[in-house]
């Protein structure tokens, strides 16, 4: 764990998983802009996590990097517990880290399915359990908040050949709804379900022709951005004081088509 700054406990503290780059970085920096100190989780992208840390500090926040492999389910509670004991408070927990990729049924293996579930569903559950006491103690008027990043296609609009990923993300949505009841009234639990907010950098979805075909089914006729996602996450985390158990679709209207 990198500790370039010590958290005073006078400002809200947010933990964002998968915050080294892309959507995670946008969320971390938006939280910093809104007055939070930020724990930046990363696994192997530590150089990029340092860039996120610098971006948060440039917005007036204190920040640290927490390096942890969320796929190591048996070791995760102890690693998260060590972090929890070092923090003066925790007000916002954002489950952004994700394993994503197609999983045609003929190619699904136990190892692949378990890997998808470990990062996309089990890690958020374990982290929520470890950090729940801190979140319950948040002094914010709206209480502590958990926000998870889901996917519009697991809400009843399934895509072909993504069964393993989709099952894991659907479990994440059910976790949000369960914890909204289990952690009430002191902690609000919500999700953002994006459509396309950052195209994959590799694979067939990085092909411009595929992207054009997808966007033809989006009423707003454009992809979203990481900044769009960050603003939605921060709204649920800090502003939506009477909202819990909600999944906010962020898809440019794709759900309607």
101 Cβ contact list (under 8 Å, min separation 6): 165, 203
φ, ψ for residue 38 (rounded to 5)? -130, 130
146 strand-pairing partners: 93, 189
Single out the catalytic residue among 37, 91, 165, 251.
165
Question: How much of the chain is helix, strand and coil, in % rounded to 5?
Answer: 45, 15, 40
Q: Are 34 and 91 within 8 A, CB to CB?
A: no
User: How far is residue 193's CA from residue 251's CA, in Å, rounded to a whole number?
Assistant: 8
Considering the candidates 37, 91, 116, 151, report the single residue annotated as catalytic.
Answer: 151
Q: Give the residue ranges of DSSP H helices in the chain.
A: 22-33, 46-58, 76-86, 110-117, 123-136, 163-182, 208-215, 226-234
- Give catalytic status of residue 161 as yes or no: no
Whether 22 is catalytic: yes
Does residue 214 have an active-site annotation?
no
**DSSP element (H, E) containing 249:** strand 247-250
Residues with a catalytic annotation lie at 22, 151, 165
């Amino acid at each position: 764990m990198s500790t370039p700054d010590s958290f005073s406990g006078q400002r809200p503290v947010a933990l964002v998983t998968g915050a080294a780059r892309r959507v995670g970085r946008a969320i971390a920096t938006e939280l910093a802009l809104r007055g939070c100190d930020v724990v930046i989780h990363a696994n192997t992208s530590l150089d990029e996590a340092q860039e996120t840390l610098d971006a948060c500090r440039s917005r007036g926040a204190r920040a640290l990097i927490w390096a942890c492999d969320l796929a190591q389910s048996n070791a995760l509670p102890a690693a998260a517990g060590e972090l929890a004991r070092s923090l003066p408070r925790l007000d916002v927990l954002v489950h952004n880290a994700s394993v994503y990729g197609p999983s045609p049924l003929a190619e699904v293996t136990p190892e692949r399915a378990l890997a998808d579930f470990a990062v996309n569903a089990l890690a958020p559950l374990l982290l929520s359990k470890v950090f729940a006491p801190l979140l319950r103690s948040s002094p914010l008027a709206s209480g502590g908040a958990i926000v998870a990043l889901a996917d519009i296609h697991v809400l009843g609009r399934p895509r072909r050949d993504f069964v393993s990923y989709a099952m894991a993300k659907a479990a994440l949505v059910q976790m949000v709804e369960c914890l909204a009841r289990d952690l009430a009234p002191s902690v609000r639990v919500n999700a953002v379900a994006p459509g396309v907010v950052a195209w994959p950098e590799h694979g067939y979805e990085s092909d411009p022709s595929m992207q054009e075909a997808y966007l033809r089914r989006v009423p707003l006729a454009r992809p979203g951005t990481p900044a769009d996602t960050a603003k939605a996450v921060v709204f649920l985390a800090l502003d939506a004081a009477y909202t819990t158990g909600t999944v906010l679709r962020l898809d440019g209207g794709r759900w309607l088509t």
